[in-house]
Protein backbone atom coordinates (compact mmCIF):
# COMPACT_ATOMS: atom_id res chain seq x y z
CA UNK A 1 0.00 0.00 0.00
CA UNK A 2 1.19 3.50 -0.77
CA UNK A 3 2.11 5.75 2.14
CA UNK A 4 -0.35 8.64 2.44
CA UNK A 5 0.76 12.27 2.49
CA UNK A 6 -0.77 12.70 5.92
CA UNK A 7 1.47 9.92 7.25
CA UNK A 8 4.53 11.57 5.71
CA UNK A 9 3.55 14.87 7.30
CA UNK A 10 3.14 13.21 10.67
CA UNK A 11 6.55 11.51 10.35
CA UNK A 12 8.15 14.91 9.77
CA UNK A 13 6.30 16.52 12.68
CA UNK A 14 7.43 13.72 14.97
CA UNK A 15 11.02 13.95 13.78
CA UNK A 16 11.05 17.69 14.43
CA UNK A 17 10.88 16.63 18.08
CA UNK A 18 13.38 13.77 17.55
CA UNK A 19 10.59 11.22 17.84
CA UNK A 20 9.69 8.27 15.63
CA UNK A 21 6.49 6.22 15.41
CA UNK A 22 8.14 3.15 16.92
CA UNK A 23 9.68 5.09 19.80
CA UNK A 24 13.24 5.10 18.49
CA UNK A 25 15.60 8.09 18.50
CA UNK A 26 16.91 9.31 15.10
CA UNK A 27 20.11 7.25 15.31
CA UNK A 28 18.72 4.05 16.83
CA UNK A 29 18.81 0.80 14.90
CA UNK A 30 15.96 -1.67 15.29
CA UNK A 31 16.86 -4.97 16.99
CA UNK A 32 19.08 -7.06 14.75
CA UNK A 33 18.88 -10.83 14.71
CA UNK A 34 21.23 -13.00 12.66
CA UNK A 35 20.44 -16.65 11.98
CA UNK A 36 22.32 -19.21 9.94
CA UNK A 37 21.62 -22.27 7.85
CA UNK A 38 18.94 -20.90 5.54
CA UNK A 39 19.90 -23.71 3.17
CA UNK A 40 22.12 -26.72 3.94
CA UNK A 41 23.17 -26.76 0.31
CA UNK A 42 24.77 -23.34 0.40
CA UNK A 43 28.44 -23.06 1.33
CA UNK A 44 27.24 -20.41 3.76
CA UNK A 45 23.96 -18.64 4.37
CA UNK A 46 22.45 -16.16 6.77
CA UNK A 47 19.14 -14.53 7.51
CA UNK A 48 18.99 -11.07 9.02
CA UNK A 49 15.94 -9.65 10.73
CA UNK A 50 15.83 -5.92 11.52
CA UNK A 51 12.42 -5.09 12.94
CA UNK A 52 10.08 -6.39 10.27
CA UNK A 53 12.70 -6.33 7.52
CA UNK A 54 14.03 -9.75 6.58
CA UNK A 55 16.84 -10.47 4.14
CA UNK A 56 18.69 -13.70 3.33
CA UNK A 57 22.10 -14.08 1.73
CA UNK A 58 23.82 -17.20 0.48
CA UNK A 59 27.27 -18.10 -0.75
CA UNK A 60 28.06 -20.66 -3.44
CA UNK A 61 31.61 -21.40 -4.52
CA UNK A 62 32.67 -22.53 -7.97
CA UNK A 63 35.83 -22.68 -10.00
CA UNK A 64 36.24 -19.82 -12.42
CA UNK A 65 38.68 -18.12 -14.71
CA UNK A 66 40.43 -15.15 -13.11
CA UNK A 67 40.19 -11.68 -14.60
CA UNK A 68 43.06 -10.93 -16.95
CA UNK A 69 44.20 -7.97 -14.83
CA UNK A 70 44.06 -9.99 -11.59
CA UNK A 71 45.44 -13.36 -12.60
CA UNK A 72 46.18 -14.56 -9.07
CA UNK A 73 42.95 -13.55 -7.43
CA UNK A 74 39.65 -15.28 -6.90
CA UNK A 75 36.48 -13.61 -8.08
CA UNK A 76 33.32 -12.33 -6.44
CA UNK A 77 29.96 -11.82 -8.07
CA UNK A 78 27.23 -10.20 -6.00
CA UNK A 79 23.60 -10.15 -7.04
CA UNK A 80 20.47 -9.01 -5.28
CA UNK A 81 16.88 -9.82 -5.99
CA UNK A 82 14.09 -7.82 -4.49
CA UNK A 83 11.48 -10.54 -4.52
CA UNK A 84 7.86 -9.69 -5.31
CA UNK A 85 6.90 -11.91 -2.37
CA UNK A 86 8.62 -9.44 -0.01
CA UNK A 87 6.61 -6.36 -0.93
CA UNK A 88 3.74 -5.30 -3.19
CA UNK A 89 6.03 -2.66 -4.66
CA UNK A 90 8.39 -5.21 -6.25
CA UNK A 91 7.53 -6.78 -9.56
CA UNK A 92 9.05 -9.74 -11.31
CA UNK A 93 11.10 -9.17 -14.42
CA UNK A 94 14.63 -8.04 -15.21
CA UNK A 95 16.63 -6.63 -12.27
CA UNK A 96 15.46 -3.17 -11.25
CA UNK A 97 17.95 -0.36 -10.78
CA UNK A 98 17.20 -0.57 -7.03
CA UNK A 99 18.43 -4.18 -6.88
CA UNK A 100 21.44 -3.46 -9.10
CA UNK A 101 22.44 -0.52 -6.93
CA UNK A 102 22.04 -2.50 -3.71
CA UNK A 103 24.20 -5.35 -4.99
CA UNK A 104 26.85 -3.00 -6.33
CA UNK A 105 27.23 -1.04 -3.09
CA UNK A 106 27.57 -4.22 -1.03
CA UNK A 107 29.98 -5.68 -3.57
CA UNK A 108 32.17 -2.56 -3.43
CA UNK A 109 32.24 -2.60 0.37
CA UNK A 110 33.39 -6.22 0.47
CA UNK A 111 35.88 -5.86 -2.36
CA UNK A 112 37.49 -2.58 -1.35
CA UNK A 113 37.76 -3.19 2.40
CA UNK A 114 40.01 -6.22 1.92
CA UNK A 115 37.53 -8.41 3.84
CA UNK A 116 38.33 -11.31 1.52
CA UNK A 117 41.93 -12.23 0.74
CA UNK A 118 41.34 -12.99 -2.93
CA UNK A 119 44.94 -14.13 -3.47
CA UNK A 120 44.26 -17.18 -1.32
CA UNK A 121 41.51 -18.23 -3.72
CA UNK A 122 43.92 -18.76 -6.59
CA UNK A 123 44.22 -22.35 -7.82
CA UNK A 124 46.42 -21.83 -10.86
CA UNK A 125 47.65 -18.41 -11.87
CA UNK A 126 45.89 -17.04 -14.91
CA UNK A 127 43.85 -20.19 -15.38
CA UNK A 128 41.78 -21.23 -12.43
CA UNK A 129 40.59 -19.65 -9.22
CA UNK A 130 37.71 -20.07 -6.79
CA UNK A 131 34.81 -17.80 -7.59
CA UNK A 132 32.43 -16.65 -4.87
CA UNK A 133 28.81 -16.17 -5.85
CA UNK A 134 27.05 -14.06 -3.27
CA UNK A 135 23.29 -13.84 -3.73
CA UNK A 136 20.96 -11.69 -1.68
CA UNK A 137 17.17 -11.97 -1.54
CA UNK A 138 14.62 -9.85 0.30
CA UNK A 139 11.96 -11.78 2.20
CA UNK A 140 10.10 -8.90 3.81
CA UNK A 141 10.64 -5.22 3.10
CA UNK A 142 9.99 -2.86 5.95
CA UNK A 143 12.72 -0.42 5.00
CA UNK A 144 16.52 -0.35 5.03
CA UNK A 145 17.00 -3.47 2.92
CA UNK A 146 20.52 -2.34 2.06
CA UNK A 147 21.93 -2.29 5.59
CA UNK A 148 20.22 -5.60 6.39
CA UNK A 149 21.56 -7.09 3.16
CA UNK A 150 25.08 -5.94 4.04
CA UNK A 151 24.94 -7.71 7.40
CA UNK A 152 23.47 -10.85 5.82
CA UNK A 153 26.21 -10.85 3.17
CA UNK A 154 29.16 -10.60 5.56
CA UNK A 155 27.55 -13.10 7.95
CA UNK A 156 27.12 -15.67 5.16
CA UNK A 157 30.71 -15.12 4.01
CA UNK A 158 32.04 -15.48 7.56
CA UNK A 159 30.44 -18.87 8.16
CA UNK A 160 30.90 -20.28 4.64
CA UNK A 161 32.85 -23.54 4.28
CA UNK A 162 34.81 -24.46 1.19
CA UNK A 163 33.30 -27.36 -0.75
CA UNK A 164 35.36 -30.47 -1.42
CA UNK A 165 37.44 -29.94 -4.52
CA UNK A 166 39.42 -32.49 -6.53
CA UNK A 167 42.15 -30.53 -8.24
CA UNK A 168 43.26 -33.34 -10.55
CA UNK A 169 39.78 -34.00 -11.87
CA UNK A 170 38.79 -30.34 -11.45
CA UNK A 171 35.46 -31.16 -9.88
CA UNK A 172 33.75 -29.69 -6.88
CA UNK A 173 31.73 -32.22 -4.93
CA UNK A 174 28.82 -30.06 -4.02
CA UNK A 175 27.16 -31.00 -0.78
CA UNK A 176 30.45 -32.17 0.73
CA UNK A 177 32.06 -29.46 2.78
CA UNK A 178 35.55 -29.18 4.17
CA UNK A 179 36.25 -27.62 7.56
CA UNK A 180 38.04 -24.75 5.86
CA UNK A 181 36.35 -21.37 5.69
CA UNK A 182 36.84 -18.59 3.16
CA UNK A 183 40.04 -16.51 3.54
CA UNK A 184 38.40 -13.63 5.36
CA UNK A 185 40.15 -10.91 7.35
CA UNK A 186 39.34 -8.66 10.30
CA UNK A 187 38.26 -5.89 7.95
CA UNK A 188 34.54 -6.60 8.06
CA UNK A 189 32.69 -3.94 6.08
CA UNK A 190 29.38 -2.74 7.46
CA UNK A 191 27.00 -0.58 5.45
CA UNK A 192 24.97 2.12 7.13
CA UNK A 193 22.46 4.31 5.34
CA UNK A 194 21.57 7.79 6.60
CA UNK A 195 18.33 9.39 5.45
CA UNK A 196 17.37 13.03 5.31
CA UNK A 197 13.79 13.85 6.22
CA UNK A 198 13.11 17.57 6.42
CA UNK A 199 16.10 18.89 8.35
CA UNK A 200 16.63 15.69 10.27
CA UNK A 201 19.00 12.83 9.65
CA UNK A 202 17.99 9.32 10.71
CA UNK A 203 19.23 5.77 10.28
CA UNK A 204 17.50 2.44 9.77
CA UNK A 205 14.20 3.80 8.41
CA UNK A 206 11.03 1.77 8.30
CA UNK A 207 9.32 1.60 4.93
CA UNK A 208 7.11 4.58 5.84
CA UNK A 209 10.14 6.63 6.79
CA UNK A 210 12.01 5.54 3.69
CA UNK A 211 9.09 6.73 1.51
CA UNK A 212 9.28 10.10 3.28
CA UNK A 213 13.05 10.38 2.91
CA UNK A 214 14.26 13.03 0.47
CA UNK A 215 17.86 11.91 0.17
CA UNK A 216 20.04 9.13 1.51
CA UNK A 217 23.70 8.33 1.77
CA UNK A 218 25.19 4.92 2.45
CA UNK A 219 28.61 4.53 4.03
CA UNK A 220 30.38 1.18 4.35
CA UNK A 221 33.03 1.19 7.07
CA UNK A 222 35.56 -1.22 8.49
CA UNK A 223 37.74 -1.22 11.58
CA UNK A 224 41.29 0.05 11.15
CA UNK A 225 43.27 0.39 14.36
CA UNK A 226 46.19 2.08 12.58
CA UNK A 227 44.13 5.16 11.87
CA UNK A 228 43.32 7.90 14.36
CA UNK A 229 39.64 7.66 13.44
CA UNK A 230 39.75 3.91 14.18
CA UNK A 231 37.73 3.22 11.05
CA UNK A 232 37.95 3.67 7.32
CA UNK A 233 35.16 4.29 4.85
CA UNK A 234 35.35 1.87 1.98
CA UNK A 235 32.28 2.56 -0.14
CA UNK A 236 29.68 5.26 -0.27
CA UNK A 237 26.79 6.34 -2.40
CA UNK A 238 24.28 9.13 -2.25
CA UNK A 239 20.80 8.45 -3.55
CA UNK A 240 17.63 10.36 -4.44
CA UNK A 241 16.88 13.83 -5.68
CA UNK A 242 17.50 16.07 -2.68
CA UNK A 243 20.93 17.42 -1.72
CA UNK A 244 23.01 17.35 1.46
CA UNK A 245 24.62 20.42 2.98
CA UNK A 246 28.37 20.07 3.54
CA UNK A 247 27.78 20.35 7.32
CA UNK A 248 25.23 17.56 7.15
CA UNK A 249 27.75 15.30 5.46
CA UNK A 250 30.37 16.13 8.10
CA UNK A 251 27.87 15.23 10.82
CA UNK A 252 27.10 11.96 9.04
CA UNK A 253 30.79 11.00 8.72
CA UNK A 254 31.20 11.51 12.49
CA UNK A 255 28.00 9.69 13.36
CA UNK A 256 28.97 6.76 11.14
CA UNK A 257 32.14 6.26 13.20
CA UNK A 258 30.12 6.06 16.39
CA UNK A 259 27.37 3.82 15.02
CA UNK A 260 29.90 1.49 13.40
CA UNK A 261 31.29 0.45 16.80
CA UNK A 262 27.81 -0.31 18.08
CA UNK A 263 26.74 -2.24 14.99
CA UNK A 264 30.02 -4.15 14.88
CA UNK A 265 29.55 -5.30 18.49
CA UNK A 266 26.03 -6.48 17.78
CA UNK A 267 27.29 -8.54 14.88
CA UNK A 268 30.36 -9.94 16.62
CA UNK A 269 28.11 -11.17 19.43
CA UNK A 270 26.00 -13.14 16.98
CA UNK A 271 28.50 -14.33 14.39
CA UNK A 272 31.02 -16.58 16.04
CA UNK B 1 57.28 5.08 -2.07
CA UNK B 2 54.46 7.45 -1.38
CA UNK B 3 52.58 9.08 -4.22
CA UNK B 4 53.66 12.70 -4.13
CA UNK B 5 54.52 13.58 -7.71
CA UNK B 6 51.60 12.98 -10.07
CA UNK B 7 52.07 10.90 -13.22
CA UNK B 8 51.23 13.83 -15.46
CA UNK B 9 53.10 16.36 -13.36
CA UNK B 10 50.03 18.25 -12.14
CA UNK B 11 49.81 19.81 -8.68
CA UNK B 12 47.61 17.93 -6.21
CA UNK B 13 44.78 20.43 -6.57
CA UNK B 14 45.26 21.08 -10.28
CA UNK B 15 42.60 20.06 -12.76
CA UNK B 16 43.29 18.80 -16.24
CA UNK B 17 42.69 21.22 -19.09
CA UNK B 18 38.96 21.71 -19.37
CA UNK B 19 36.93 22.58 -22.42
CA UNK B 20 33.21 23.09 -22.83
CA UNK B 21 31.20 23.69 -25.95
CA UNK B 22 27.49 24.19 -26.45
CA UNK B 23 25.25 23.21 -29.36
CA UNK B 24 27.27 20.33 -30.76
CA UNK B 25 24.34 18.21 -32.00
CA UNK B 26 22.10 20.30 -34.22
CA UNK B 27 18.97 18.14 -34.01
CA UNK B 28 18.83 18.37 -30.23
CA UNK B 29 16.90 20.85 -28.10
CA UNK B 30 20.13 21.32 -26.19
CA UNK B 31 23.57 19.76 -26.35
CA UNK B 32 27.07 20.19 -25.01
CA UNK B 33 30.51 18.64 -24.92
CA UNK B 34 32.69 18.71 -21.81
CA UNK B 35 36.34 17.68 -21.59
CA UNK B 36 38.62 16.89 -18.65
CA UNK B 37 41.91 16.35 -20.52
CA UNK B 38 41.46 13.10 -22.47
CA UNK B 39 38.01 12.41 -21.10
CA UNK B 40 35.33 13.66 -23.48
CA UNK B 41 31.61 13.57 -22.71
CA UNK B 42 28.79 14.47 -25.02
CA UNK B 43 25.37 15.30 -23.56
CA UNK B 44 22.21 15.78 -25.59
CA UNK B 45 18.78 16.90 -24.43
CA UNK B 46 15.46 16.22 -26.15
CA UNK B 47 12.30 17.63 -24.59
CA UNK B 48 10.17 18.44 -22.82
CA UNK B 49 7.99 16.14 -24.92
CA UNK B 50 4.82 14.20 -24.06
CA UNK B 51 5.79 11.01 -22.26
CA UNK B 52 4.70 7.66 -23.65
CA UNK B 53 3.42 5.28 -22.45
CA UNK B 54 0.81 7.50 -20.88
CA UNK B 55 0.65 5.64 -17.58
CA UNK B 56 4.21 6.75 -16.84
CA UNK B 57 3.25 10.42 -17.00
CA UNK B 58 3.28 12.59 -13.91
CA UNK B 59 0.34 15.01 -14.01
CA UNK B 60 2.09 17.35 -11.58
CA UNK B 61 5.43 17.80 -13.32
CA UNK B 62 7.67 16.62 -16.09
CA UNK B 63 10.19 13.87 -15.44
CA UNK B 64 13.87 13.68 -16.23
CA UNK B 65 15.29 10.54 -17.79
CA UNK B 66 19.04 10.06 -18.00
CA UNK B 67 20.88 7.53 -20.08
CA UNK B 68 24.67 7.32 -19.66
CA UNK B 69 26.77 5.06 -21.84
CA UNK B 70 30.20 4.80 -23.41
CA UNK B 71 31.18 4.26 -27.02
CA UNK B 72 32.50 0.73 -27.43
CA UNK B 73 35.87 2.10 -28.54
CA UNK B 74 36.09 4.88 -25.94
CA UNK B 75 38.19 2.61 -23.69
CA UNK B 76 41.37 0.58 -24.38
CA UNK B 77 39.60 -2.76 -24.00
CA UNK B 78 36.42 -2.70 -26.11
CA UNK B 79 33.25 -2.19 -24.09
CA UNK B 80 30.36 -4.35 -25.16
CA UNK B 81 27.72 -1.98 -26.57
CA UNK B 82 24.52 -1.57 -24.62
CA UNK B 83 23.66 -1.00 -20.96
CA UNK B 84 25.68 -2.69 -18.23
CA UNK B 85 25.05 -2.77 -14.48
CA UNK B 86 27.64 -0.02 -14.12
CA UNK B 87 26.12 2.23 -16.77
CA UNK B 88 22.65 1.78 -15.29
CA UNK B 89 23.94 2.84 -11.90
CA UNK B 90 25.79 5.83 -13.31
CA UNK B 91 22.63 6.84 -15.22
CA UNK B 92 20.62 6.71 -12.01
CA UNK B 93 23.04 8.71 -9.84
CA UNK B 94 23.37 11.28 -12.63
CA UNK B 95 19.59 11.51 -12.86
CA UNK B 96 19.36 12.12 -9.10
CA UNK B 97 22.05 14.78 -9.28
CA UNK B 98 20.42 16.62 -12.20
CA UNK B 99 16.96 16.29 -10.64
CA UNK B 100 18.16 18.39 -7.74
CA UNK B 101 18.48 21.40 -10.07
CA UNK B 102 15.90 21.07 -12.83
CA UNK B 103 12.42 22.39 -12.25
CA UNK B 104 9.85 20.71 -14.51
CA UNK B 105 6.71 21.84 -12.70
CA UNK B 106 5.64 23.91 -15.71
CA UNK B 107 5.70 20.83 -17.94
CA UNK B 108 3.30 18.21 -16.55
CA UNK B 109 3.03 14.86 -18.36
CA UNK B 110 6.28 15.40 -20.23
CA UNK B 111 9.71 13.86 -20.23
CA UNK B 112 13.10 15.45 -20.72
CA UNK B 113 15.56 12.94 -22.10
CA UNK B 114 19.23 13.44 -21.33
CA UNK B 115 21.61 11.23 -23.30
CA UNK B 116 25.20 11.15 -22.14
CA UNK B 117 27.75 9.41 -24.30
CA UNK B 118 31.42 9.11 -23.46
CA UNK B 119 33.45 9.48 -26.64
CA UNK B 120 36.87 9.02 -25.09
CA UNK B 121 37.56 7.86 -21.56
CA UNK B 122 40.42 8.53 -19.19
CA UNK B 123 38.66 8.50 -15.79
CA UNK B 124 36.11 10.96 -14.46
CA UNK B 125 33.56 10.10 -17.12
CA UNK B 126 30.44 10.41 -14.95
CA UNK B 127 31.61 13.82 -13.73
CA UNK B 128 32.35 15.04 -17.25
CA UNK B 129 28.91 13.68 -18.20
CA UNK B 130 27.19 15.69 -15.47
CA UNK B 131 29.05 18.86 -16.44
CA UNK B 132 28.05 18.39 -20.07
CA UNK B 133 24.46 17.49 -19.18
CA UNK B 134 24.06 20.60 -17.03
CA UNK B 135 25.17 22.70 -19.99
CA UNK B 136 22.92 20.83 -22.40
CA UNK B 137 19.92 21.34 -20.10
CA UNK B 138 20.67 25.03 -19.73
CA UNK B 139 21.13 25.47 -23.47
CA UNK B 140 17.81 23.69 -24.08
CA UNK B 141 16.16 26.32 -21.90
CA UNK B 142 15.04 23.83 -19.26
CA UNK B 143 14.22 25.76 -16.05
CA UNK B 144 17.01 25.19 -13.54
CA UNK B 145 17.31 26.38 -9.96
CA UNK B 146 21.06 26.65 -10.33
CA UNK B 147 24.04 25.20 -12.13
CA UNK B 148 25.65 21.93 -11.10
CA UNK B 149 29.30 20.87 -11.46
CA UNK B 150 31.03 17.57 -10.73
CA UNK B 151 34.58 16.34 -10.19
CA UNK B 152 36.34 13.21 -8.99
CA UNK B 153 38.47 13.68 -5.88
CA UNK B 154 40.88 10.90 -5.03
CA UNK B 155 43.25 9.57 -2.43
CA UNK B 156 46.25 7.90 -4.00
CA UNK B 157 48.21 6.07 -1.33
CA UNK B 158 47.99 8.82 1.33
CA UNK B 159 47.79 11.85 -0.94
CA UNK B 160 44.56 13.71 -1.71
CA UNK B 161 44.32 14.83 -5.32
CA UNK B 162 41.71 16.19 -7.67
CA UNK B 163 40.55 15.05 -11.14
CA UNK B 164 42.15 11.60 -11.35
CA UNK B 165 43.44 10.00 -14.52
CA UNK B 166 43.06 6.27 -15.17
CA UNK B 167 46.61 5.41 -14.03
CA UNK B 168 45.89 7.09 -10.71
CA UNK B 169 42.57 5.24 -10.35
CA UNK B 170 44.47 1.97 -10.85
CA UNK B 171 47.22 2.74 -8.32
CA UNK B 172 47.74 -0.29 -6.08
CA UNK B 173 50.71 0.45 -3.80
CA UNK B 174 50.44 1.62 -0.22
CA UNK B 175 46.85 2.47 0.61
CA UNK B 176 45.86 2.13 -3.06
CA UNK B 177 43.40 4.41 -4.79
CA UNK B 178 40.13 5.84 -3.51
CA UNK B 179 37.86 7.47 -6.03
CA UNK B 180 35.18 9.94 -4.89
CA UNK B 181 33.00 11.50 -7.58
CA UNK B 182 31.19 14.46 -6.09
CA UNK B 183 28.83 17.12 -7.49
CA UNK B 184 27.93 20.50 -5.99
CA UNK B 185 25.22 23.03 -6.74
CA UNK B 186 27.10 26.12 -7.84
CA UNK B 187 25.57 28.74 -5.54
CA UNK B 188 24.26 26.94 -2.46
CA UNK B 189 27.23 24.56 -2.38
CA UNK B 190 24.99 21.61 -1.53
CA UNK B 191 26.08 18.11 -2.48
CA UNK B 192 24.02 16.46 -5.23
CA UNK B 193 26.18 13.45 -6.02
CA UNK B 194 28.52 11.51 -3.77
CA UNK B 195 30.08 8.13 -4.39
CA UNK B 196 33.13 6.44 -2.94
CA UNK B 197 35.17 3.44 -3.75
CA UNK B 198 38.38 2.63 -1.85
CA UNK B 199 39.65 3.20 1.69
CA UNK B 200 39.63 6.55 3.47
CA UNK B 201 39.14 7.89 7.01
CA UNK B 202 36.21 10.13 7.99
CA UNK B 203 38.68 12.97 8.75
CA UNK B 204 40.20 12.73 5.27
CA UNK B 205 36.75 12.61 3.75
CA UNK B 206 35.92 16.01 5.23
CA UNK B 207 38.99 17.35 3.46
CA UNK B 208 37.86 15.66 0.22
CA UNK B 209 34.58 17.59 0.30
CA UNK B 210 36.49 20.89 0.61
CA UNK B 211 38.80 20.01 -2.27
CA UNK B 212 35.82 19.03 -4.41
CA UNK B 213 34.02 22.26 -3.66
CA UNK B 214 37.02 24.33 -4.69
CA UNK B 215 37.45 22.40 -7.96
CA UNK B 216 33.76 22.69 -8.81
CA UNK B 217 34.00 26.45 -8.52
CA UNK B 218 36.61 26.33 -11.29
CA UNK B 219 34.42 24.04 -13.39
CA UNK B 220 31.49 26.39 -12.91
CA UNK B 221 33.54 29.23 -14.42
CA UNK B 222 34.26 27.08 -17.51
CA UNK B 223 30.56 26.21 -17.79
CA UNK B 224 29.50 29.85 -17.41
CA UNK B 225 31.92 30.93 -20.11
CA UNK B 226 30.60 28.27 -22.51
CA UNK B 227 27.04 29.41 -21.96
CA UNK B 228 27.99 33.02 -22.59
CA UNK B 229 29.56 32.06 -25.89
CA UNK B 230 26.63 29.95 -26.92
CA UNK B 231 26.06 30.31 -30.61
CA UNK B 232 22.63 31.19 -31.86
CA UNK B 233 20.96 28.16 -33.39
Q: What average pLDDT does the segment A229-243 reach?
A: 95
A242: chain B residues, CB-CB within 8 Å: 100
Burial A225-252 (b: 16+ CB within 10 A, else e): eeeebebbbbbbbbbbbbbbebebbeeb
pLDDT at A2: 81
The closest CB to that of B197, out of A103, A112, A242, belongs to A112
Nearest to A243 among B93, B100, B196 (CB): B100
Nearest-angstrom CA–CA distance, A53 and A35: 14
Each residue's pLDDT tens digit, B182-213: 999 999 999 999 999 999 999 999 999 999 99
Domain span holding position A147:
5-270
pLDDT at A46: 97
Say how many domains are in chain A.
1
| Cα A61 to Cα A172: distance, rounded to the nearest angstrom | 9
- pLDDT surpasses 90 at A225: no
Check if A214 contacts B (Cβ < 8 Å). no
Find, among B175, B198, B204, the residue nearest to A113 by Cα.
B198
- Under the banding of pLDDT at 50, 70 and 90, the label for residue B231 is low
Distance from CA of A255 to the nearest CA of B (A): 10
- Residues A16-37 have a mean pLDDT of 96
Report d(CA A235, CA A225) in Å as an integer. 18
3-state per-residue secondary structure call for A107-161: HHHHHHHCCECHHHHEEECCCEEEEEEEEEEEEECCCCHHHHHHHHHHHHHHHCE
User: How far is residue B102's CA from residue B48's CA, in Å, rounded to a whole number?
Assistant: 12
Q: Of A75-79, A147-151, A224-228, B84-88, give the lowest mean pLDDT range.
A: A224-228
**Whether the Cβ atoms of residue A113 and residue A222 lie closer than 8 Å to each other:** yes
pTM of the model: 0.90
Three-class secondary structure of residue B102 per DSSP: strand
Contact predicate A146/A105, CB 8 Å? yes
How far off is chain A from B228, nearest CA to CA, in Å?
A: 27
Please compute the mean of the pLDDT values over residues A224-229 and round it to a whole number. 88
The answer to whether the bond into A28 is cis (omega within 30° of 0) is no
For chain A, report the end-to-end CA distance as a whole number of angstroms. Answer: 39
- CB of A119 within 8 Å of any CB in chain B? no
Assess whether pLDDT exceeds 70 at residue B1.
no
Average pLDDT over residues A82-107: 93
Evaluate if residue A223 carries a pLDDT over 80: yes
Model confidence at A56: pLDDT above 60: yes
Which architecture, in CATH terms, is B18-228?
A: 2-Layer Sandwich (3.30)
Asked if B30 and B140 touch (Cβ cutoff 8 Å), the reply is: yes
Q: Which of B99, B196, B202 sits opposite A257 (nearest CB)?
A: B202
Q: Is A245 an 8 Å CB contact of chain B?
A: yes
Q: Which residues of B touch A244 (CB under 8 A)?
A: 190-191, 194
Predicted local distance difference test score (pLDDT) of residue A60: 95
* Each residue's pLDDT tens digit, B3-62: 989 999 999 999 999 999 999 998 999 999 999 999 999 999 999 999 999 999 999 999
Nearest to A246 among B191, B201, B203 (CB): B191
| CATH label of the domain that carries residue A204 | 3.30.230.70
Residue A236 touches chain B, beta carbons under 8 Å? yes
Please name the residue of chain B whose CA is at the shortest distance from the CA of residue A260: B202
User: Do the Cβ atoms of B196 and A253 come within 8 Å?
Assistant: no
Percentage of chain A with pLDDT > 70?
Answer: 100
Q: For A115-130, write each residue's pLDDT tens digit.
A: 999 999 999 999 999 9
Question: Cβ contacts of residue B225 below 8 Å, gap of 6+?
Answer: B20
- H helical segments located in chain A: 5-16, 97-113, 145-159, 207-212, 246-270
CA distance B160 to B149: 19
Q: What confidence tier does A93 reach under pLDDT thresholds 50, 70, 90?
A: confident
- pLDDT of B232 > 60? The answer is no
Q: Where are the domains of chain B?
A: 18-228
What per-residue confidence (pLDDT) applies to B233? 45
Q: CA–CA separation, B71 vs B78, rounded Å?
A: 9
Compute the mean pLDDT over every residue in chain B, rounded to the nearest whole number: 95
Q: Are B199 and A231 in contact (CB < 8 Å)?
A: no
Taking CA–CA distances from A252, the nearest residue in chain B reads B202
Predicted pLDDT of residue A53: 97
Instruction: Determine whether the interchain pair A227/B192 forms a contact, defined as Cβ–Cβ distance below 8 Å.
Output: no
Pick the range with the lowest mean pLDDT from A13-22, A86-95, A143-152, A212-221: A86-95
Amino acid sequence: MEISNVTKKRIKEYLAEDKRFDGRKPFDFRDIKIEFGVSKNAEGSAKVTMGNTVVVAGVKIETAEPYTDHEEEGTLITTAELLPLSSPRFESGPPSIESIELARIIDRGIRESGFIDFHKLCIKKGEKVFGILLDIFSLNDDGNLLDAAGIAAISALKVAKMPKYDEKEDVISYGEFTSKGLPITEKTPLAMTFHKIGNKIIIDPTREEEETSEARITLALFKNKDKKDGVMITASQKGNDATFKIEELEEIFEKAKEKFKELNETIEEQVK
Amino acid sequence: MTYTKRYDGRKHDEMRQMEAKINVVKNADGSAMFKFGDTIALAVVYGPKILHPQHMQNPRKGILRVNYDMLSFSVPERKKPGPSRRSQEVSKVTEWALNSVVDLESYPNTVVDVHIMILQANAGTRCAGINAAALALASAGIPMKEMISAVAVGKIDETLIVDLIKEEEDYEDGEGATDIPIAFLAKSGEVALFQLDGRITPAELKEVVKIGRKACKEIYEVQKKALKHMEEK
